């Protein structure tokens, strides 16, 4: 069955069984590996994407439900990693293993889109579906507050933020 | 590369080695004979004996440093290159880091485990950088016709009087220089460090936050098929019959077959490494889409030979342990003084039975491997903590020479000890060989939870004796654990010198075992993660019985080592972290509301000293909230990367909290009952308290941080619960207990 949706701003059509979860369509049919498989049962949030701007667990969303929707994955959150949440995550040095972080960033960016100044309580509520097995929770909280500040500041302040260099060549 | 190739004698078996790059620049590495790389000793005993690195310095002044060790989230991919860059004396902004493949001819100790990377490599990595720097200095001095001793370096530039040359300009000439003996090359004074001790963000962060492929599960190979592997739910069970034809007819499935390596693996098993795995037996389903092949599992109808483990259950273990506790112990692990006599004559005695459950590792990335047989060899992409052991054992099981197996190291979505074991690699290899195509095997979360090398449960029957001034004079622990024959099951043992051994004059540690049949293994801070709960909880009970403050009771005990006893750790260092955590947590002085209390515990493991206070609030109805954790740690004189150090310690402390609160693996009919995160519960953000981390910078060699902050948390939390409710938690997880109080 052919299913058409907008993926990271581009119109996309896939041939897939309608009940195949969006997660596996993204990862294995469209080769977008940023969205992660952790549990397959909406317990962990590793597979979080935006569907019309709302966070959704793609492991439990049949691809047929994507028809006509706007889907954003971690790869499409920004052109170049400059979304305030992506910048804040690097400035606070959040990741340990990093496996959960795409899902965390997608949930955090959806939270900030609707609530630009979240309290710790708001963060707990919005983020409690995202497990971090390495338990980087303190830094996730700090990075969300930091991203909230970055999003308000003039854009130049993001650009100083790519960390201290040394990325993989 | 051209023909210039200079070697400097490095050690008996390894050579520092420099090559000029064809396009200009130099390549520095170490070479080892393959022979010397075999066996467990090479990875663990090598500490400072071998040098292993790889630097590519190009005329643009960029140093590309190979990160040699597997990255599981412990930060080693950033940390080891920092050590090299420091002594090379190059700004971090001119450093690029690449993940090395597993290669025992170039690297030593390519392993993630035991918090070993810092102690093993702290000096040797620095020496590589210092040797490279010395060659650049020599090249500059030659050009200036001066003495290298008179030249200095700073931030990637060599200076002599008013002259200067950048490393980029020197890189090609330096390739002509004889490498110095790295064992005698001078290292920097720590006061001059510019990179070590700085907060350097993880080198993969830019890729992680943009979702670039990095992990084993992200690997794609041309022509690859996907696979799942269905095993008997009873540990050790085997396939008798299966409806393979029906499964093969399922959409997306190209092949389905039985894999049985029982025979090969059993004959090879005698010479396996310590990370031995059981021979795979099960049904592989292979096809064009992982989701489709996994869906096809629901069509499987299999009759299994369940084997002897089918009669094992958690309830039966509990029963047997209690029976064993009433019998004479199977053996003595340690006897100091006369524990029985001292208990009989003690002014006060206390008795308690403690128990902790089996646990799963549950790394967030499920197990996976991509395997491809081609050109007579096997190429693998695998998240593996122990590539060296895995390769050796795989070669024996598969019957192919070790040097025909290539292992590409991928970043791992967590390890925690699970990926010390290479069962999923063997499964992938066997499936790929039988399918005749490259295969990517991915486990489900259910596979991952059920088929773990579990942290074994255990039982401790304790007696303690106090004299009439409340001093601990006798300690007896009958430890009931698992194992067959003379051996404990992996990670089911206990060190005979665990605290309070050597701090109490009469000490007896005894053990009994029961057979298990279920795989067990190392979980972050192995044995310590369980033993600390038992020891530091019972110490708390004894302090209460003695009518003493629990923290002061511990300080006094650490002072009490009888003459002639040699404790497993330095009591002064432990006292220092206890005093620090006392001061930082406001122990005994904070004005806490009703229902809120503090508990303390300390533990020595992986060469690290950690004392921790947990503050918890328990409502009268029994609802538990953890307010804050204070950690005081001593891992020597230098934190290589303080940002990562704090992240590791906070993660380890919260890992301990998750274990204590609500984690348990149970068995029935030889099967694991838990299957996914709804019944094996990981910590969530709304349960995660702030973790304050403080350091004692003692003048000792730097040691590792991945593990030692974990063990004190479960007992400190249970002790806090006691402080509020008067209830002792003698079995984990806490969620099984009613905490209500009046
Ligand atoms: S993989 Fe979707 S919630 Fe875990
Ligand atoms: S960083 Fe490892 S799971 Fe979150």
Model pLDDT for residues A72-123, shown as the tens digit of each residue: 999 999 999 999 999 999 999 999 999 999 999 999 999 999 999 999 999 9
> Which ligand is the nearest neighbour of the Cα of A130?
1
Contact between chains at B682 and A166 (C-beta distance less than 8 A)? no
Ligand 2 mean position, distance from CA B363 (Å): 9
- Is any Cβ of chain B less than 8 angstroms from the Cβ of A131? yes
CATH class as words, domain B314-359+454-736: alpha beta
Q: Is the pLDDT of residue B714 over 60?
A: yes
Q: pLDDT at position B51, please?
A: 38
Residue of B nearest to A100 (CA): B364
Contact between chains at A128 and B444 (C-beta distance less than 8 A)? no
Residue B733: asked if its preceding bond is cis (omega within 30°), the reply is yes
- Is any Cβ of chain B less than 8 angstroms from the Cβ of A62? no
Taking the C-alpha atoms of residue A80 and residue A78, their distance in angstroms, rounded to an integer, is: 6
CATH topology assigned to domain B12-200: Aldehyde Oxidoreductase; domain 4 (3.30.365)
pLDDT higher at B265 or B405: B405
Ligand 2 mean position, distance from CA B412 (Å): 10
SS3 B365: coil
Closest in A17, A86, A131 to B210, CB measured = A86
Taking the C-alpha atoms of residue A97 and residue B74, their distance in angstroms, rounded to an integer, is: 7
Residue B500: asked if its preceding bond is cis (omega within 30°), the reply is yes
Model pLDDT for residues B40-66, shown as the tens digit of each residue: 233 333 322 333 457 999 999 999 998
Q: Give the tokens for residue B628.
A: 């804050």
User: Using CA positions, which residue lies closest to atom 3 of ligand 1?
Assistant: A42
Q: Give the tokens for residue B446.
A: 């259910």
Mean pLDDT of A40-47: 98
Least-confidence region, from B40-49, B301-310, B316-325: B40-49
Average pLDDT over chain B reads: 91
Ligand 2 mean position, distance from CA A104 (Å): 9
pLDDT higher at A14 or B107: A14
Among B384, B381, B429, B383, which Cα is nearest to B407's? B381
B270 φ/ψ angles, rounded to the nearest 5 degrees? -60, -30
Residue B134 · residue B185 · CB < 8 Å: yes
Q: Is the pLDDT of residue B289 over 90?
A: yes
Cβ neighbours of B73 in A, within 8 Å: 95-99, 134
pLDDT higher at B180 or A154: B180
Taking the C-alpha atoms of residue B458 and residue B343, their distance in angstroms, rounded to an integer, is: 24
Residue B160: how many CB atoms within 10 A of its CB?
18
Taking the C-alpha atoms of residue B462 and residue B304, their distance in angstroms, rounded to an integer, is: 42
Contact between chains at B650 and A39 (C-beta distance less than 8 A)? no
Residue B425 · residue B388 · CB < 8 Å: no
Asked whether the domain spanning B216-306+367-442 has the same topology as the one spanning B12-200, the reply is yes
Q: Give the tokens for residue B419.
A: 């990926």
Q: Side by side, which strands form the sheet with A48-51? A: A10-15, A2-7, A70-72, A48-51, A54-57
Q: Chain A window 67-96: which residues touch B at a Cβ cutoff of 8 Å?
A: 73-75, 77-78, 81, 86, 89-91, 93, 95-96
Alpha-carbon dihedral of residues B733, B735, B738, B742, nearest 10 degrees? 100
Domain boundaries, chain B: 12-200, 216-306+367-442, 314-359+454-736
SS3 B721: helix
Count CA within 13 A, CB hemisphere, residue A4: 2
Taking the C-alpha atoms of residue A149 and residue A112, their distance in angstroms, rounded to an integer, is: 11
Residue B288: how many CB atoms within 10 A of its CB?
14
Residue B279: how many CB atoms within 10 A of its CB?
21
Atom of ligand 1 nearest to the CA of A39: 4
Q: Which residues line ligand 2 (CB under 6 A)?
A: A 95-101, 132-134, 136; B 73, 364, 414
Helix (H) or strand (E) segment spanning residue A130: none
Residue of B nearest to A168 (CA): B97
CATH topology assigned to domain A2-76: Ubiquitin-like (UB roll) (3.10.20)
CATH 1.10.150.120 fits A84-152, yes or no: yes
Q: Is the pLDDT of residue A8 over 50?
A: yes
Q: Give the tokens for residue B426.
A: 């063997």
Among B637, B610, B614, B638, which Cα is nearest to B627's? B614
- Is any Cβ of chain A less than 8 angstroms from the Cβ of B198? yes
Burial class (CB in 10 A: 0-12, 13-18, 19+), B594: exposed
Residue of A nearest to B99 (CA): A168
Confidence class of residue B272 from pLDDT cuts 50, 70 and 90?
Answer: confident
Mean pLDDT of B276-280: 84
Mean pLDDT of B368-385: 95
A72: closest CA of chain B, how far (Å): 12
Cβ neighbours of B442 in A, within 8 Å: 37
Taking the C-alpha atoms of residue B320 and residue B684, their distance in angstroms, rounded to an integer, is: 35
| Cβ neighbours for B614, distance < 8 A, ≥ 6 positions apart | B598, B599, B626, B628, B629, B657, B713, B716, B717, B719, B720
pLDDT higher at B268 or B539: B539
A68: closest CA of chain B, how far (Å): 23
Least-confidence region, from A6-20, B173-187, B488-502, B648-662: B173-187
Percent of chain A residues topping a pLDDT of 90:
89
Cβ neighbours of B217 in A, within 8 Å: 33, 36-37
Look up the ipTM and state it.
Answer: 0.93
A81: closest CA of chain B, how far (Å): 6
Taking the C-alpha atoms of residue B196 and residue B79, their distance in angstroms, rounded to an integer, is: 9
Atom of ligand 1 nearest to the CA of A47: 2
Q: pLDDT at position B42, please?
A: 32
Residue B682 · residue A131 · CB < 8 Å: yes
Residue B227 · residue B285 · CB < 8 Å: yes
Domain boundaries, chain A: 2-76, 84-152
Q: Is the pLDDT of residue A18 over 60?
A: yes
Residue B507 · residue B337 · CB < 8 Å: yes
Q: Give the tokens for residue B396.
A: 């024996």
| Cβ neighbours for A84, distance < 8 A, ≥ 6 positions apart | A112, A147, A148, A150, A151, A158
Pairing of strands B26-32, B14-20: antiparallel
| Cβ neighbours for A97, distance < 8 A, ≥ 6 positions apart | A133, A134, B71, B72, B73, B363, B364, B365, B411, B412, B413, B414, B415
B708: closest CA of chain A, how far (Å): 15
A168: closest CA of chain B, how far (Å): 5
| Cβ neighbours for A153, distance < 8 A, ≥ 6 positions apart | none
Q: pLDDT at position B121, please?
A: 82
Contact between chains at B683 and A90 (C-beta distance less than 8 A)? no
Q: Is the pLDDT of residue B162 over 80?
A: yes
B476 φ/ψ angles, rounded to the nearest 5 degrees? -135, 130
Residue of A nearest to B690 (CA): A138
Taking the C-alpha atoms of residue B562 and residue B543, their distance in angstroms, rounded to an integer, is: 19
Contact between chains at B364 and A125 (C-beta distance less than 8 A)? no
CATH topology assigned to domain B216-306+367-442: Aldehyde Oxidoreductase; domain 4 (3.30.365)
Contact between chains at A39 and B204 (C-beta distance less than 8 A)? no
Percent of chain B residues topping a pLDDT of 90:
80
Least-confidence region, from B295-299, B564-568, B619-623: B564-568
Taking the C-alpha atoms of residue B368 and residue B423, their distance in angstroms, rounded to an integer, is: 10
Q: pLDDT at position B597, please?
A: 98
Pairing of strands B331-336, A48-51: unpaired
B507 φ/ψ angles, rounded to the nearest 5 degrees? -140, 125
DSSP B502-556: TTSSEEEEEEEEE---S-B---SSTTHHHHHHHHHHHHHHHHHHHT--HHHHHHH
Model pLDDT for residues B412-460, shown as the tens digit of each residue: 999 999 999 999 999 999 999 999 999 999 999 999 999 999 999 999 9
A vs B: CB pairs below 8 A: 223
Q: Is the pLDDT of residue B27 over 90?
A: no
User: Angle of helix B423-435 relative to helix B387-398, nearest 10 degrees?
Assistant: 40
| Cβ neighbours for B556, distance < 8 A, ≥ 6 positions apart | B471, B548
The single residue listed with the structure tokens 């992680």 is B208
Model pLDDT for residues B494-507, shown as the tens digit of each residue: 999 999 999 999 99
Q: Give the tokens for residue B367.
A: 């197990």
Q: Is the pLDDT of residue B348 over 60?
A: yes
The single residue listed with the structure tokens 């949706």 is A5
Taking the C-alpha atoms of residue B175 and residue B267, their distance in angstroms, rounded to an integer, is: 49
Percent of chain B residues topping a pLDDT of 70:
93
Taking the C-alpha atoms of residue A60 and residue A40, their distance in angstroms, rounded to an integer, is: 7
- Is any Cβ of chain B less than 8 angstroms from the Cβ of A99? yes
Least-confidence region, from B89-93, B177-181, B305-309, B318-322: B177-181
Ligand 1 mean position, distance from CA A59 (Å): 5
Ligand 2 mean position, distance from CA B423 (Å): 23
Residue among B364, B654, B690 with most chain A CBs within 10 A, to mutate: B364
């Amino acid at each position: 069955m052919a299913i058409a949706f907008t993926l990271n701003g581009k119109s996309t059509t896939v041939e897939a069984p309608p009940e195949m979860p969006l997660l596996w369509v993204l990862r294995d049919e469209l080769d977008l590996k940023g969205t992660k498989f952790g549990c397959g049962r909406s317990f962990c949030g590793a597979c979080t994407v935006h569907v019309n701007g709302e966070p959704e667990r793609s492991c439990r969303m049949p691809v047929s439900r994507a028809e006509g929707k706007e889907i954003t994955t971690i790869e499409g959150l920004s052109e170049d990693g400059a979304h305030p949440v992506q910048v804040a995550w690097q400035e606070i040095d959040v990741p340990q293993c990093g496996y959960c972080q795409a899902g965390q960033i997608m949930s955090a960016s959806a939270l900030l889109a609707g609530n630009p100044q979240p309290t710790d309580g708001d963060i707990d509520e919005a983020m409690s579906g995202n497990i971090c097995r390495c338990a980087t929770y303190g830094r996730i909280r700090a990075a969300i507050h930091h991203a909230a500040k970055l999003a308000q500041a003039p854009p130049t302040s993001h650009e100083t933020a790519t960390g201290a260099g040394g990325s993989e060549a | 590369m051209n023909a210039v190739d200079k070697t400097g004698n490095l050690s008996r078996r390894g050579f520092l080695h420099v090559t000029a790059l064809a396009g200009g620049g130099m390549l520095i590495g170490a070479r080892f004979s393959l022979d010397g790389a075999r066996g467990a000793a090479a990875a663990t005993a090598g500490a400072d004996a071998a040098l292993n690195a790889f630097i590519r310095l190009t005329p643009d002044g960029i140093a590309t440093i190979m990160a040699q060790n597997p990255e599981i989230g412990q930060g080693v991919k950033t940390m080891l290159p920092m050590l090299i860059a420091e002594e090379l004396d190059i700004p971090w902004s001119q450093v690029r880091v690449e993940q090395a493949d597993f290669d025992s001819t170039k690297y030593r100790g390519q392993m993630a485990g035991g918090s070993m990377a810092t102690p093993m490599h702290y000096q040797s990595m620095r020496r590589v950088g210092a040797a490279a720097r010395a060659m650049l200095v020599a090249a500059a001095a030659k050009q200036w016709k001066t003495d290298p001793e008179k030249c200095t370096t700073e931030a990637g530039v060599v200076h002599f009087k008013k002259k200067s040359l950048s490393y980029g300009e020197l890189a090609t000439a330096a390739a002509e220089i004889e490498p110095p003996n790295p064992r005698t090359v001078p290292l920097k004074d720590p006061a001059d460090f510019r990179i070590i001790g700085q907060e350097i963000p993880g080198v993969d962060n830019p890729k992680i936050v943009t979702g670039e492929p990095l992990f084993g599960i992200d690997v794609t190979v041309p022509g690859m098929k996907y696979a799942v592997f269905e095993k008997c739910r009873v540990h050790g069970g085997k396939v008798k019959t299966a409806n393979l034809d029906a499964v093969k007819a399922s959409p997306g499935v190209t092949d389905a077959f039985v894999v049985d390596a029982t025979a090969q693996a059993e004959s090879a098993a005698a010479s396996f490494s310590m990370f031995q795995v059981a021979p795979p037996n099960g049904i592989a389903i292979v096809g064009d889409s992982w989701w489709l092949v996994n869906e096809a599992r629901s069509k499987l109808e299999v009759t299994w030979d369940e084997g002897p483990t089918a009669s094992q259950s958690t309830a039966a273990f509990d029963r047997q342990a209690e029976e064993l506790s009433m019998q004479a112990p199977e053996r003595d692990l340690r006897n100091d003084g006369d524990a029985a006599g001292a208990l009989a004559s003690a002014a006060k005695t206390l008795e308690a039975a403690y128990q902790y459950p089996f646990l799963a590792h549950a790394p967030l990335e499920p197990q996976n491997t991509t395997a491809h047989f081609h050109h007579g060899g096997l190429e693998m992409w695998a998240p593996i903590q122990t590539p060296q052991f895995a390769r050796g054992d795989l070669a024996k099981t598969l019957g192919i020479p070790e040097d025909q197996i290539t292992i590409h190291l991928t970043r791992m979505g967590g390890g925690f000890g699970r990926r010390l074991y290479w069962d999923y690699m063997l499964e992938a290899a066997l499936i790929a060989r039988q399918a005749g195509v490259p295969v990517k095997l991915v486990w489900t979360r259910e596979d991952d939870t059920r088929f773990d090398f579990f942290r074994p449960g255990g039982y401790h029957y304790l007696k303690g004796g106090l004299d009439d001034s409340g001093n601990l004079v006798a300690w007896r622990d009958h430890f009931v654990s698992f194992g067959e024959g003379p051996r404990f099951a992996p990670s089911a043992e206990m060190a005979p010198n665990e605290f309070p051994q050597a701090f109490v004059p009469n000490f007896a540690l005894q053990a009994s075992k029961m057979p298990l049949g279920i795989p067990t293994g190392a979980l972050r801070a192995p044995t310590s993660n369980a033993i600390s709960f038992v020891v530091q909880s019972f110490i708390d009970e004894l302090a209460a019985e003695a009518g003493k403050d629990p923290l002061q009771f511990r300080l006094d005990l650490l002072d009490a080592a009888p003459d002639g006893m040699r404790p497993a750790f330095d009591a002064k260092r432990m006292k220092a972290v206890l005093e620090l955590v006392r001061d930082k947590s406001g122990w005994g002085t904070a004005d806490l509301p009703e229902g809120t209390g503090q508990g303390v515990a300390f533990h020595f493991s992986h060469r690290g000293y950690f004392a921790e206070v947990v503050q918890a609030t328990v409502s009268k109805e029994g609802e538990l909230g953890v307010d804050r954790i204070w950690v005081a740690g001593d891992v020597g004189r230098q934190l290589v990367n303080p940002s990562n150090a704090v992240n590791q310690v906070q993660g380890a402390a919260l890992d301990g909290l998750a274990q204590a609160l609500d984690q348990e693996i149970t068995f029935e009919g030889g099967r694991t009952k838990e299957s996914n995160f709804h019944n094996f519960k990981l910590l969530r953000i709304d349960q995660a308290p702030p973790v304050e981390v403080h350091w004692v910078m003692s003048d000792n060699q730097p040691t590792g941080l991945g593990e030692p902050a974990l063990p004190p948390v479960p007992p400190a939390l249970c002790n806090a619960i006691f402080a509020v409710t008067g209830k002792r938690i003698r079995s984990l997880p806490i969620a099984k207990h009613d905490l209500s109080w009046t």
